[in-house]
Every structure is written in C-alpha cells, then in structure tokens.
Amino acid sequence: MAVSGFEGFEKRLELNFSGEDGLIAAAENGLRDLDFEVIQQVLSEVQCTVVSAMSNTCMDSYVLSESSLFVYPTKIIIKTCGTTQLLKSIPLLVSQAHHLLGLHVTSCRYTRGSFIFPKSQPFPHTSFKDEVHYLNLTLPSHLCYRKARVLHPSKKSSSHCHTWHVFCASDHQHAHLFDDNNNDEHDDNGHDDHGGAFTMEVCMTELDQGLAEKFFGGGEVTVREMTWATGIGEINPNQVVCDFAFDPCGYSMNGIDGGYYSTIHVTPEEGFSYASFECNGELEEEILEDGRVNVYDMLEKVVQVFRPAKLSVAMTGASRSMSTRLRSVVESFGLTRRSCSGDEFPGSGKIVFQTFSTSRRK
C-alpha cells in the first residue's frame, strides 16, 4: 500500500430548499437561477473548479476537477474527492440562495466513506467528530432535528470492509422522524418497505488492475474510449453522458436522464485504486413501468466493469426487497456480504449500508 496518494473516497453534501411559502412553482428555476459566478465562488471555497457541464429541463450537471455537482430547482448535490473542503460550501450556498432567490434550506445530508489517507485531510475533514462539530455550528438553527452516526461492520469483519459516515439535519416540516429503537443492526428481515425516492452510493476499492490501466491517458487514449471500451457507456444507455479524462490518469462521468442522474469517478493508481458509482431513482415499480434501466441492472454492470475486491452499497430510501436484491446482484460476482447496518435519519429516512469483499489476492 502506498504511503500517500490521491484520495478517491468522496465527501457528498446534499442540501434541499423551499420558498417562503414552503413551495416553489414548477415553472421556476429556483437554484438553477444562481449565476455561474456564484457557483464558481462556492467551488472556490471547496477548492475545485468546473471542467465540463451540461443541462436538461430538470437539472444542471457539472463535472468538477474533483468529482461532480448537480443543481435542481430546490436541491443541490456536491460530491468532491481529494483534499477538498466540501463543508465550507455551506455558508455561501445557504446565504446566496436566501438573499438572491428567496429560498431557505430545509434539510441537509452529508455522507462519506473512510478515507484511505485520513491524515492528509484539511479541517474540517480531519475527523468525523470535527465534521459534525462544523456542521452543527454552520447550519441554520431551524434545522433542529439532527443526527450523526457511523455505520460500520462488526469487529469480526472490520478488516475486510468500508465504513459509512452519515450526518443529517432537517427542519420540523421535513424531519420524517422515526422510532430509533432497535436500529443498531439490521438484517434482510429488519427493513420496512416504504415509498419515495432512493439514492444509491457505491464505493469500490482494489479494482481489477487490467481494468484500472484503461484509465491512464498518456495522450493516446481519449475520454470516449475510456467510456465505451470499459463498458461504462452501457451502464445506462438512456442517459446523456458528459465525461472527462484527467492527466496522467483518472476519469469522471456524469449522466443525466430526465430528472435522474448517475455519476462515476475513478482513481486507478495501483495500491489505492478506487471507483465510485452513484445514481438516484424512484421505487422499482415506477422505474420498470416507465421503461428506465432498473437499479439492479445498473449495479450488475458497475460490478462487472470494475471487478473490485471490496465494495460497499449505501442506499438512502431503500426498501427490504431492494436491499435483498442488491445483495444478490453483488454476491453473484463472488463477493461475500460482510455486514449490513442501517438507521433512520431526519429528512432522509432509512439508510442501509452493506459491505462486501472477496478473498482475491492482491
């Protein structure tokens, strides 16, 4: 293992907003009306820049020098890797949305895995305790329902697995608080089915080295070749893709399909190789009815592309049936589930975190 290198594990921040009346008209652009100069100022606080962008009628999508940004009328998602200071985006985003657009923040969700190089992270990302302290000081007081927790494997399997750090905050109207009793550990029979949207975040380490080598450019491999030669372009053929290859190595992709997005980021260096995949959607029945690629097919293709030795799946809004089927998809590739934990969070509902690994030799 390398002593130091580029940090692949991302930090992810999602902020939701509403107008003073609690609603925003469908015809209004909301956060999408923020000037690009404001977006640049926010990213300057984070210490990253826009390298590519695209839009549709539902959202604006930006590939960043360190990962991705998605802007909806009432929601913004920023995902950054490396030594970025993601949480420093909050004060400017909240103030500009309020003063320029009359929007106020209604909920916040911050998630991340366990850093490969934690000692390289700057404040406030020096520890989860520091992150939670910073969030508690920075977020407006009306987000009064707050919860922070690390979802982690059992001690027996901890050496094989990733961990998942979650902080959620919400105002009273959007809290959706649940009974916290007996939420420490969940198995497949402990998940309650419920409606709504979901977000799937997949983290993969120890990638197949032959595959990882395809993400080294060297001036000879184009970004389109990376997208299609690896199979990434087939994960969701319905989406419009905006991709970017970094010099000398590394890859990022945003895909948008109506109001749905997916994003992939790859750090291919041997010894600390990493890839992530994230997508959102509605309940599986709705996905199948409207002809979209379902989440199980996408996850299957993702694992097939990257062939990792270690993998974790965090599902926000997961139902019991989804968690069970996702496990089956991953285990069909020879990975064994090492842990499953979950909890309820204000403004986000249930988050279920599963970890998998294989005995493949490095």
**Are 295 and 278 in contact, with CB atoms under 8 Å apart?**
no
**Side-by-side strand order, sheet with 11-18:** 50-55, 60-64, 67-71, 75-80, 11-18, 104-112, 164-170, 145-151
Measure the CA–CA gap between 157 and 182, rounded to whole angstroms.
Answer: 21
Q: Name, in order, each residue with C-beta under 8 angstroms of 97's C-beta and a sequence gap of 6 or more.
A: 17, 31, 34, 103, 104, 105
Measure the CA–CA gap between 84 and 26, rounded to whole angstroms.
Answer: 34
Tell me the pairing of strands 145-151 and 240-245.
Answer: unpaired
Any binding-site annotation on 269?
yes
* Whether residue 323 lies in the annotated active site: no
Residue position matching structure tokens 């905006």: 242
C-alpha distances in Å from residue 349, one per residue of 110, 197, 199: 14, 10, 11
Q: Given the residues 252, 319, 339, 357, select the one marked as catalytic.
A: 252
* Whether residue 81 lies in the annotated active site: yes
Q: For residue 86, give the DSSP letter.
A: G
* Whether residue 48 lies in the annotated active site: no
Peptide linkage before 346 cis (omega within 30 of 0): no
Q: Given the residues 48, 81, 108, 168, select the one marked as catalytic.
A: 81
Measure the CA–CA gap between 61 and 280, rounded to whole angstroms.
Answer: 14
Measure the CA–CA gap between 295 and 81, rounded to whole angstroms.
Answer: 24
Q: Given the residues 61, 262, 265, 279, select the one marked as catalytic.
A: 265
Any binding-site annotation on 9?
no
Q: Name, in order, each residue with C-beta under 8 angstroms of 307's C-beta and a sequence gap of 6 or more.
A: 207, 208, 211, 333
Measure the CA–CA gap between 78 and 46, rounded to whole angstroms.
Answer: 10
Number of other residues whose CB lies within 10 A of the CB of residue 21: 8
> Three-state secondary structure along 184-247?
CCCCHHHCCCCCCCEEEEEEEECCCHHHHHHHECCCCCCHHHHHHHCCHHHCCCCCEEEEEECC
Q: Given the residues 18, 61, 65, 67, select the one marked as catalytic.
A: 67
Any binding-site annotation on 6?
yes
SS3 345: strand
* Whether residue 252 lies in the annotated active site: yes
Which are the catalytic amino acids? Answer: 67, 81, 252, 265
List binding-site positions for substrate. Answer: 6, 66, 246, 269
